[in-house]
């Protein structure tokens, strides 16, 4: 499959949109006799499950394209929805399951993803072939959190380059603050703990009392316990992680002796949009140190989906940029984050000192954009083009009509360029999609997650 995008970036011309490649592949299936259906089920230890249905070409000439389509789809589903059991059903399920087993195993191409699933669900990832009747009934846990604004509350949001906090009284923000920090490669959990404590004390100083605390942080959290999080990636000793990190937020809740809830930062992004707009079917994406995403379903509920879109494939070129953590190619973090900015800068002819950290590189880009530098414009255009194609791909997995866009990468006039180019891609390539791209005001972009996080715990 060699799609021909109507929109391309001169500084990243090799981009192969997953949305276009998949559309061409499915069109080939539709016109090729012998093509067949394939169902991909995902199930978790708690029994919640989902099923994704697609098509594959006949065995033989289409084998390579079939494996690429199915493996990339499974990868997307693992990081978007999550599950430790993958159930395949269809005439070609057996050879495809065998190929996937060879990749998603220690030493395989997707060893990182397999280990993530094991860590998250404390069970190994399995691939099983089942008849249609053996597929699970679709269900997702709905989280009755959020939209609680009464009382004196603290909200915090922990990113990779800064941590934000806000103090609210009956829903009104009386204080908000942003503090730079560098948690990614810190090997001592005390760095993280003391930083969070400092933010909580800052907010508490502006309240007559503290009734509840809600938090937003990159990673996966179940019952306030850290299961997997990039914020703590520097803590590689499993014993230290289990003893000092896993229950960090549980322990903080005990310290403050008030209702205390922490969710993935992406879920709080989506919740913020749903609350402020009064709409459901919302996908929220924050472009910051990584890619935070979350989803509010058509009924207005948060789900237990992972929505870790930093790791989902959006570019199918064979020599795409590699994610430094997982090693996989063409994943969202290399396009919609500070890492993506750092990748694009030299391609646009902007050469910064190698010692400059990614947040400072973004600041330099923003300065150049404000000064009218054409190279900076090309960086933002490249992000926007890739984003537009990615949004169409996301629509195959999420039922959403509203997209909230936040994060440091989208701040300033460069963010306007990203949105304009994404809208142009959707208009010209996917006119059947009806997705409203919503941008909060500048203050909400930077502090909206902390405010929404404050609403998580009921009193």
Within 10 angstroms of residue 65's Cβ, the number of other Cβ atoms is 17
Q: Give the residue numbers spanning the domain of 241.
A: 140-459
Specify the pLDDT at position 335. 98
Pinpoint the alpha helices (H) of 81-143. Answer: 93-103, 111-121
pLDDT reading at 443 higher than 70 = no
Number of domains in the chain: 2
Kind plus residue range of the DSSP H or E element containing 41: strand 36-43
Q: Please indicate, yes or no, if residue 281 is contained in any of the structural domains.
A: yes
Helix 374-394 and helix 412-429, axial crossing angle in degrees, nearest 10: 50
Q: Please check whether residues 37 and 147 belong to one and the same domain.
A: no
Mean of per-residue pLDDT scores for the chain: 92
CA gap 52, 78 in Å, rounded:
11
pLDDT category at 98 given cuts 50, 70, 90 is very high
Q: Please check whether residues 204 and 96 belong to one and the same domain.
A: no
- Phi/psi at 16 (5° precision): -115, 100
Q: Please check whether residues 212 and 311 belong to one and the same domain.
A: yes
Q: pLDDT tens digits for 196-239?
A: 999 999 999 999 999 999 998 878 888 898 988 888 989 989 89
More confidently predicted of 1 and 257: 257
Work out the average pLDDT over 389-393.
98
Q: What's the predicted TM-score (pTM) here? A: 0.86
Q: Please indicate, yes or no, if residue 218 is contained in any of the structural domains.
A: yes
Q: Please check whether residues 102 and 233 belong to one and the same domain.
A: no
Q: pLDDT tens digits for 274-288?
A: 887 888 999 989 898
Q: Please indicate, yes or no, if residue 192 is contained in any of the structural domains.
A: yes
Q: What length is written for the chain?
A: 459
* CB-based burial, 418-428: b 16+ in 10 Å, e otherwise: bbebbbbbbee
134, 152, 179 - which closes a domain: 134
Q: pLDDT tens digits for 338-362?
A: 999 999 999 999 999 989 999 999 9
Q: pLDDT tens digits for 58-84?
A: 998 789 999 999 999 999 999 999 999
CA gap 11, 379 in Å, rounded:
8
Q: Please check whether residues 107 and 163 belong to one and the same domain.
A: no
Q: Please indicate, yes or no, if residue 92 is contained in any of the structural domains.
A: yes
pLDDT category at 145 given cuts 50, 70, 90 is confident
75, 100, 134 - which closes a domain: 134
CA gap 171, 126 in Å, rounded:
45
CA gap 397, 400 in Å, rounded:
9
CA gap 455, 448 in Å, rounded:
11
134, 152, 177 - which closes a domain: 134
């Amino acid at each position: 499959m060699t799609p021909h995008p109507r929109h391309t970036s001169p500084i990243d011309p090799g981009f192969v949109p997953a949305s276009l490649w998949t559309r061409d592949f499915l069109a080939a299936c539709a016109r090729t006799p012998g093509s067949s259906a394939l169902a991909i089920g995902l199930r978790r230890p708690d029994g919640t499950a989902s099923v994704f249905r697609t098509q594959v070409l006949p065995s033989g000439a289409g084998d390579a394209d079939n494996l690429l389509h199915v493996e990339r789809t499974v990868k997307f589903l693992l990081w978007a929805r999550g599950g430790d059991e993958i159930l395949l059903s269809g005439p070609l399920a057996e050879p495809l399951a065998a190929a996937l087993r060879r990749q998603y195993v220690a030493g395989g191409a997707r060893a990182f993803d397999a280990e993530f699933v094991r860590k998250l669900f404390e069970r190994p990832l399995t691939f099983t072939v089942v008849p249609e009747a053996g597929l699970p009934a679709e269900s997702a846990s709905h989280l009755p959190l959020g939209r609680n604004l009464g009382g004196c509350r603290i909200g915090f949001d922990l990113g990779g380059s800064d941590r934000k906090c806000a103090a609210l009284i009956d829903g009104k923000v009386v204080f908000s603050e942003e503090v730079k920090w560098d948690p990614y490669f810190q090997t001592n959990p005390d760095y993280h703990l003391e930083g969070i404590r400092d933010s909580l004390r800052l907010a508490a100083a502006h309240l007559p009392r503290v009734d509840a605390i809600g938090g937003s942080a990159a990673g996966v959290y179940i019952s306030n316990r850290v299961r997997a999080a990039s914020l703590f990636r520097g803590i590689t000793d499993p014993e230290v992680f289990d003893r000092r990190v896993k229950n960090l937020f549980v322990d903080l809740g005990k310290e403050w002796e008030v209702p205390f809830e922490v969710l993935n930062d992406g879920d709080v992004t989506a919740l913020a949009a749903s609350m402020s707009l009064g709409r459901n079917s919302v996908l929220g994406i924050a472009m910051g140190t990584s890619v935070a995403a979350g989803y509010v379903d058509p009924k207005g509920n948060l789900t237990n989906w992972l929505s870790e879109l930093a790791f989902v494939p959006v570019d199918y070129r064979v020599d795409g940029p590699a994610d430094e953590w997982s090693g996989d190619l063409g994943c969202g973090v290399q396009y919609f984050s500070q890492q993506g900015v750092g990748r694009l800068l030299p391609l646009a002819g902007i050469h910064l000192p190698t010692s400059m950290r990614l947040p400072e590189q973004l600041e330099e880009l923003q300065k150049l954009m404000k000064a009218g530098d054409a190279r900076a414009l090309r960086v933002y255009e490249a992000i926007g083009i890739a984003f537009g194609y990615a949004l169409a791909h996301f629509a195959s997995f999420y039922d959403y009509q509203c997209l909230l866009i936040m994060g440091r990468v989208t701040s300033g006039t460069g963010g306007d360029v990203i949105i304009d180019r994404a809208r142009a891609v959707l208009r010209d390539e996917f006119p059947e999609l009806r997705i409203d791209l919503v941008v909060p005001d500048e203050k909400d972009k930077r502090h909206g997650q902390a405010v929404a996080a404050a609403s998580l715990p009921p009193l």
